A and B are shown apart, each in its own frame.
Chain A
Amino acid sequence: MKTKNADKSKNNQQNKLIETTLKTSGFLFPKTVEEVKEYERVYGTTDVILPLELQEPTFLYTKSENAQNLNLEVLPSDNFAMAARNGLSNKLPDKIQQKIIEDIKKAEQKRSK
């Protein structure tokens, strides 16, 4: 009986060790303050080079809840990004500016493929 309990306890300890290591070794996202600190102690705080899609948070303006829905009818030939390049962006209405951001994002995605 004693041996059985000792085995169980050893087994639980091993499982706990594996769980904690997975959480602080990059396999899982650290979910508590202590896990974050331990993760940063092991891996440091140096950031990696970000891909183009993440340099600027344009996706927040286009996908977030606060982003306005476009009610505009846009012809395929309309290219709002060109207006931005010509320095007209500050004279354009909000909805058009929103569309510019979307166009830029699409173009960036196309380039990165």
Chain B
Amino acid sequence: MEISLQPESTKVIFTDLQTIEGLKKDNNEKMIQILQNQFYNKYKGYIYKKALQSCISYPDSQQFAIDITQQTFINALKKIKDFDLSKEKNQDNHQYLIKAWLGRIALNCFKKEYAKRKDIIYLDDLTAQPEDEKFDLFESLYGDKPIEIPNEFRSKLNEAMNLLTEEQKHILLVHADEECLNNTLHLSDEAMEDLCKTYNTSSTNIRQIKKRALDKIKDYCFNK
């Protein structure tokens, strides 16, 4: 194995599909490293930028974002064998699929890093949880087209989020991520358990905090 300490000067630029498929065949260590570098260099900016935005209101936000970015790529490379990009025939969509996939991994990293910062130790950091057999990762990366959002509403929501405490904001975002802002919808058991552990409180209290945070947001966004 020969390791260059200088930035890699890759002569061949691989497509996203070639990179992903190449990374699945781990028979040539040198080649794996070139592909890892190319994959990382193409998507590091997107993940870091996004991580920085997500962490901005938390303490030590830059280091938080760096940790999430690094852990996202480590986890992505571990899970790359389960990611089948070849199902999408339109090459133009490949980068969006990869970003959406990396986004899911980054979100999990965010949750775990946040809990670690709150001194919560995760057992599933050490043991991989089995995937639900019915869950189709690839299908789930295609969602409905989001509704159009006026820029004015975006800035208002941004201002409203700044009114929340770190705890309220985090609990609200976990609910939004699982599309459970409506009172009739409940968080997954795993997510609720994580929140209860993180804040050392009951699920009833978590729901109360979410309700108060949501009321505050709505009051600011729709009644002012």
Interface residues of A (CB under 8 A from B): 11-12, 14-39, 42-43, 45, 47-48, 50-51, 53-54, 56-57, 59-61, 63-66, 84, 89-90, 94, 97, 100-101, 104
Measured CB to CB, the nearest residue on chain B to A90 is B2
Q: In the complex, which residues of chain A have a beta carbon less than 8 angstroms from the beta carbon of B121? A: none
B window 26-58: CB within 8 A of A: 26, 32-33, 36-37, 40-41, 44-46, 48-50, 52-54
CB contact between A89 and one of B3, B26, B147 (< 8 Å): that residue = B3
Nearest opposing residue in chain A for B149, CB measure: A21
> When the two chains form their complex, are residues A42 and B154 in contact, meaning their CB atoms are under 8 A apart?
yes
CB–CB B154/A50 < 8 A: no
Interface bracket on B:
35 or more
Docked CA distance A63–B100 (Å): 23
Q: Quick one: which of A29, A38, A56, A94 contacts B146, CB cutoff 8 A?
A: A38
Asked if A18 and B217 make an inter-chain contact with CB atoms under 8 angstroms apart, the answer reads yes
- Contacts A28-B173, A34-B143 hold; do A22 and B48 have CB atoms under 8 A apart? no
Question: Are A36 and B103 neighbours in the complex by a CB distance under 8 Å?
Answer: yes
Q: Does B163 contact A (CB under 8 A)?
A: no
